[in-house]
Each structure stands twice: as structure tokens, then as C-alpha cells.
Amino acid sequence: MAEVVLFHHAQGLTAGVREFADELRRAGHVVHLPDLYEGQTFATLDEGIGYAKRTGFGTVLERGLAAVDGLGDALVYAGFSLGVMPAQRLAQTRAGARGALFFHSCLPVSEFGDGWPAGVPVQVHGMDGDSLFVDDGDLDAARELTGTTEEAELFLYPGKEHLFADSSLESHDRAATALLTRRVLEFLG
């Protein structure tokens, strides 16, 4: 059993993110689901990114960091897109991290330190035709990460959808999500 902190994407804590957390719980894992948007959700990615910009990405990040206060150290940090920002920072900088799961995004390792911490396995999942993942540098960052540690895995899925693993959005890809979920459950096991 793993204890996971799962951060939502820019559209907020949607029903699809909650369903993903419930899938992990059904497999026997403890899942914490912080709400970085204080109850707000958005119909489109652009609206959600607009909210994050108005609020400040630094504020959103700080909310994510504060969400683990009072939790133990042996955590797996996971994030969907925008949620990768606090997940990756915590995995790289908070002592005791057990692992990291990055969905639809990956930041350069240099963003939060000098390198990926030894002993912290990580998976990065994205679609090979997702312009936000491929063209905005996330795929390059993921490849750099996998090139610096043997504990990193990159999984590319055929398609162009950004938030394909959120079952409540039109961008959901059932087959890719099923494969992603299987890989995540094996990782957590």
C-alpha cells in the first residue's frame, strides 16, 4: 500500500480526477486530494489557466506545498498537468519521497534543484501528439529526466489530447487511461 498525494490539473478538482483517486483507493492505496483552487472548477483548460494566472502560479504552488503539512514523509507525489508543479517540487525537495507520477506534464529537473533525488522512482505519462506536452518542452524535460536516472520511465501514448486521463472531460481517452492506470498501479505496488 502506498500513500499518494494527487494534485489536480488547471481545470480544478474535477469529477474525473476524483474518479482516478477512487481507482487508486479501490486498489488499497491511501490518496490525499488537495484542492489548489479552493473549490473552483472550470469548463475549459483556458479558463482554468486564466484562473491560475490571476491567482498566481506561485500561490497555486504554495497551496500544494502546504497541503502536505502534517502528513508523513513516505509519500508518492502525483500530479495532472498543472498539478505536476507541486508534485515534482515535493518529490525533488521533501525528504522521504517514495516516488512520483507525472501525468501530461514534466518540468526540467533544474527547476527545483541540482538533480533528481536518488532512490525516488518516477513515471511520466503523456500523449505523443499533445502540443502542450510536446511543443512546450515537457517531453524534452521528461527525456532529460529519464536520461539522468535509471529510476525514471517515460510512457508515450498515441494521440493528441492533453488531459486524456480525466474521465470527466471530452479529451478523455479510455484505452490510454486504462493502460496508464495499469502502469500506475504496478508502480504503486
Residues 14-73 have pLDDT tens digits of 999 999 999 999 999 999 999 999 999 999 999 999 999 999 999 999 999 999 999 999
Residues in CB range of 127: below 8 A, 6 or more apart: 104, 133, 156, 157, 158, 159, 160, 161, 162, 164, 173, 176
pTM across the whole model: 0.96
Residues 142-158 have pLDDT tens digits of 999 999 999 999 999 99
**How far out from the chain centre does Cα 97 lie?**
15
- Please give the mean pLDDT across all residues of the chain: 97
| Predicted local confidence at residue 114, as pLDDT | 84
Structure-block grid coordinates of residue 142: 521528461
Give the domains, in start order, of the chain with CATH numbers.
Answer: 3-188 (3.40.50.1820)
